[in-house]
Amino acid sequence: MKSKLLLPVLAAVIVAVVTILQTGLLDKAPGPPPASADSATARTELSRLVVQARGTMEGYSRDKFPHWETISGKCDTRETVLSRDGQDVRTDAECRAVSGTWHSPYDGATWTSASDVDIDHIVPLANAWVSGASSWTTERRKELANDLTRPQLLAVTDRVNQSKGDKAPDEWRPPLQSDWCVYATDWIQVKDYYQLTVTEAEKAALNDMLDHC
């Protein structure tokens, strides 16, 4: 008799667990964003970057930098960054962010819909191409495009990311001057790790941005 009474309770528990799983409440949260380097480290890294003119865009295609790759379960790189960089992010059974809050460091805006947020490649793929990635293997380019270990991926306001496009720091900087230091150290850290080149103008702009640290 008792077992019959327990059946509805067990059924309710199962339904609750399934619902939680489907809304992402039990998913393992991504780790924190990669730490930015301090300005002294960034200046050291910048000093060892090779300075040369940018290469050509010949042969370039975003398809040559495969993204977004699956990171865990049904979650790809973009969805992982959305969960990592947001607050109180909830996802559906396909790992799509259905709610949450995102603060964009570039412009200080706060968003509550993932559709208003882009995942920015700090060093744009096209810039990487003309800075040395054109000679890489596809696997190496894939690593750059999906890198969660270096500060290469960041959730930001979509229209701000679109205004940046493929521009380097001598052509574009975050609207908020308070973010220039972190932006510069992240850019340098990524270029140093992947041994990408910089132009004279790009290096000068980065040095100027580091002065704001």
Burial 33-70 (b: 16+ CB within 10 A, else e): ebebbebeebbebbeebeeeebbeeeebeeebbebbee
Sign of the Cα torsion 15, 21, 25, 28 reads positive
Separation CA 41–CA 38 (nearest Å): 5
pTM of the model: 0.86
Domain boundaries along the sequence of the chain: 30-210
Q: From first to last of its 213 residues, what are the pLDDT tens digits of the chain?
A: 444 444 443 333 333 333 444 444 434 567 788 999 999 999 999 999 999 999 999 999 999 999 999 999 999 999 999 999 999 999 999 999 999 999 999 999 999 999 999 999 999 999 999 999 999 999 999 999 999 999 999 999 999 999 999 999 999 999 999 999 999 999 999 999 999 999 999 999 999 999 999
Alpha helices, DSSP H only, in 23-122? 39-47, 77-85
pLDDT tens, 45-91? Answer: 999 999 999 999 999 999 999 999 999 999 999 999 999 999 999 99
